[in-house]
Amino acid sequence: MYLEGVCNPLLGPSLYENAGNKAQNGVPPIMECEIIYVGDPMCSWCWGFSPVLNKIIKKYSNAAPTRLVVGGLHAFDTDPMSDEYKARIKHHWEQVAEATGQPFNYAFFDREGFVLDTEPACRASVVVRNIKPDALMPFYERIHKGYYLENMDTTKLETFEQYAEAEGIDAKTFTTVFESEEAKQETINDFAWCQQAGVAGFPTMVLREDEALCALSVGYQPFDSLQPILDAWVSGELSIKKQVELARAAGNPVTTH
């Protein structure tokens, strides 16, 4: 989906709307903070957002590490893609390419009988998150590229084993964890967190300051739009807790997960 950088009401006020509300003197420094990235490895707008995400991780990882939560965009789909469905997805890809400049391989749409189930790709990401956290984002990127550029079947275990080995993970170990009930449940837990937090689309960036959450962006946004807010946040000039307090004072629903 393509949205402006607005905030889902359940996550509190938009930082775009309240960027001028700086933390007051005497507000304690951030004790624990992170950037929560909610995406799906087979989401076209997430692929479009990938260069932005990489810049965010590179610039802000020391001050606020990025945590991936998988969203399950088309999780558990069982029906083969119809021609109408393919046309709709292709149109999304074309929109993403135009808006972000990211390349796509449209040979994907020549496939017959393909079932667009994103749960396996999400679960594979959860597995790597547990086995080798430092390899998670490169692995996630491999799925992106495999699906959108290389016309790989990123619903198949064999593809994930190949990507895991490329990240230095033993394929048998990966498969054992991938097929475990624990990995399946943890993936479902990610999907449930997205629903409980009110995530309305992918990609979504959420800033967490202790127990307080606030959406930085819902949908694609260029890095230049996000950088000033992130700079203010990691420097302590902008307080997420303050945003939540303002939302509560205004009578807006907020959540703290």
| Domain ranges across the chain | 33-249
pLDDT for 17:
38
- Output 102 or 245, whichever has higher pLDDT: 102
Task: For residues 10-20, give the mean pLDDT.
Answer: 39
Q: Is a pLDDT exceeding 70 seen at residue 256?
A: no
Count Cβ atoms below 10 Å from residue 45 Cβ, excluding itself.
25
The share of the chain scoring above pLDDT 70, in percent, equals 85
Cα gap 128→138, rounded to integer Å: 10
Count Cβ atoms below 10 Å from residue 134 Cβ, excluding itself.
10
Q: Which fold has domain 33-249?
A: Glutaredoxin (3.40.30)
Torsion angle defined by CA atoms of residues 86, 220, 224 and 55, in that order, rounded to the nearest 10 degrees: -80
Closest C-alpha to 206, from 84, 77, 35, 40: 35
Mean pLDDT for all residues in the chain: 87
Count Cβ atoms below 10 Å from residue 205 Cβ, excluding itself.
26
pLDDT for 124:
99
> pTM score, two decimals?
0.85
**Least confident residue range of 18-22, 175-179, 239-243:** 18-22
**DSSP-assigned states of every residue in 35-48:** EEEEE-TT-HHHHH
β-bridge mates for residue 254, sequence order = 11
Task: For residues 93-102, give the mean pLDDT.
Answer: 97
Closest C-alpha to 108, from 84, 89, 124, 95: 89
